[in-house]
Structure 1
Amino acid sequence: MTQQVEPGPTARLGRAVGTPGTVGGVALVLPGGEPQSARGPSPWARAVVRPLARDLASAGAGAGLAVHVVRYRGRGWNGDDARLAADADWAVDEVVRRYGDVPVSLIGLDMGGRAALRAGGHQAVSSVVALAPWLPAEGAGADAEPVRQLVGRRVLIAHGTNDERADPELSFRLAERAKKANRDTCRFEVHSDGHGMRQHRSEVRALVSDFVLGAVFGRPFARPVADALAAPPPLGLRMPLALGFGQK
């Protein structure tokens, strides 16, 4: 008798946040995860990024930005499997299938930030945002987190200086290497804030919206973002996120 094998879980794009009408670009929001885990996807991790997704959808509705929160197959990166990055790559493929040839921005928090950076090489991706990205301590040679896939993309990293879960110095070092390969890379430091950057959440969300709408639709960036992209390292990679950013 042949044993029936149950299919494994699959990644999902998730229902669009808001109603953009005619879609001219897509933002995929990638939740956090764990370095190693066999457990299923975390509803809590998705709930954490939904307010960011709603803000993005509201800011981009008039321009035709569709926003989706990606549901992973599980919550673990799991070493060489890099499952969260593979799920992000699948989600971009699904965007192309569903919406056609539109620019895609990947926005990830925590381990989702690592997934966004790794999956940024997909040909449909125009920009990458990594918020407090969880990154492994870098080794030598092939052990270093790759950055060449980011060439031709606009890249934003934002990190709280008091982050005790994801070392901000690791994201700075990655940004240094990324900047050498791709000048359209910038990094903002959220001073005195922790991993979730909750003390300055309004400024962080405004920064993300400004960057995504500029990268996807060609809108002018806010002056601090334009300055950070243009500045040589380390200035453009340690740009302080000003109190009240995005407020009129």
Structure 2
Amino acid sequence: MTAGGAPALDHLPARAPTRAVAVFCHGGTVASVEPPRERALSLLRMRAIEQFVRAAGGDLGLDTYVVRYRVAGWNGVAADAYADVRWALSEVRARHGSEVPVALVGHSMGGRAALRAGGDASVRTVCALAPWTPPGEPVDHLRDRTAFVLHGRGDRWVPAALSADYAVRAERAGARIARFTIAGGHSMVRRAPVWHAFVRDVVLAGTGLAPWRADLREALERRELAAPL
């Protein structure tokens, strides 16, 4: 792993006995060994989504965590964000036990890290938001795993075609995956309530705290890879 400080987890505990955990992974950049900025937009947006989900799930027993990366970049084969998410999952197991279901939520670089960590035994579902999934990103580990993708059709930072190709390859590898598209770009600001509700509903249903929303369930059953929201 790239040299730097230790990763960390920011925690919002459930308001009831813990029944599930959601781990949120914010975006970053292609290459940087500098620590993420405290006021980075990617971190602020992920905090807003975390707080929205926790408001809905806290009384149901949902704990939430935001991963604090050591460095802001993916950094090629070092895959630093992925390494930090793997650490976060081991830390969650140490705190809550191996039987507590986990949802991984990631945006952009964090979406890539969440999808790559989706084969972990604790993870019940992955929710990837505008994920940066370059050609050749591994998919075989998602066989028999559940993942949802939401991507802005006008995304100029991470083109939606990347997650479209990834979803096709993951489905062929045996993943239970559904992909939705939405008007807007990479920052998830346009139609923000729709992004927030999507994450909330995937997390709560994916960890067994709520029933599936009809369109999510139907898209997953059909392996729908281009449903609009």
The question of a shared fold, defined as TM-score above 0.5 by the shorter chain, is answered with: yes
> How many residue pairs get matched?
224
Q: Cα distance 1:155–1:82, how it changes in 2: closer, same or farther (>3 A)? A: same
Aligned to 1:84: 81
The separation in 1 between residues aligned to 2:139 and 2:15, in whole angstroms, is: 32
Q: Name structure 2 gaps, 5 residues minimum.
A: none
List gaps (5 residues or longer) in structure 1: 1-6, 139-143, 242-248
Identity %: 38
Runs of 4+, deviation exceeding 3 Å? none
Superposition TM-score, scaled by structure 2 size: 0.93
Query: RMSD between aligned alpha carbons?
Result: 1.4
Quote how far apart the aligned CAs of 1:220 are.
2.1
Show the 5 A alignment for 1:32-43: 32-43=27-38
Does the 8 Å contact 2:27/2:111 carry over to 1?
yes
Offset at 1:200? 1.1
State the one-letter code of the partner of 1:182.
G
Determine whether 1:31 maps to 2:23. Answer: no
**2:220 is matched by which residue type in structure 1?**
L
Note closer, same or farther for the CA distance 1:183–1:31 as it changes in structure 2 (3 Å cut): closer
Aligned equivalent of 2:16: 21
Per the alignment, residue 201 of structure 2 pairs with 210
Query: Contact 1:18 / 1:58 at 8 angstroms: preserved in 2?
Result: no
TM-score (norm 1): 0.86
Which piece of structure 1 moves more, 65-74 or 182-191?
A: 182-191
1:181 aligns with 173
Encode CA deviations 1:182-203: one digit per residue, 9 max, x unaligned.
3521001002x11122121101
Moved more, 38-47 or 64-73: 38-47
Partner of 1:163: 155
What one-letter code is carried by the residue in structure 1 that aligns with 2:207?
Answer: V
Q: 1 or 2 for the larger relative contact order (CA 8 Å, sep ≥6)?
A: 2
How does 1:1-248 map onto structure 2 within 5 Å? 8-14=4-10, 16-17=11-12, 19-43=14-38, 44=40, 45-101=42-98, 102-136=100-134, 138=135, 144-191=136-183, 193-217=184-208, 219-232=210-223, 236-241=224-229
Counterpart Cα distance in 1 of 2:78 and 2:149: 24
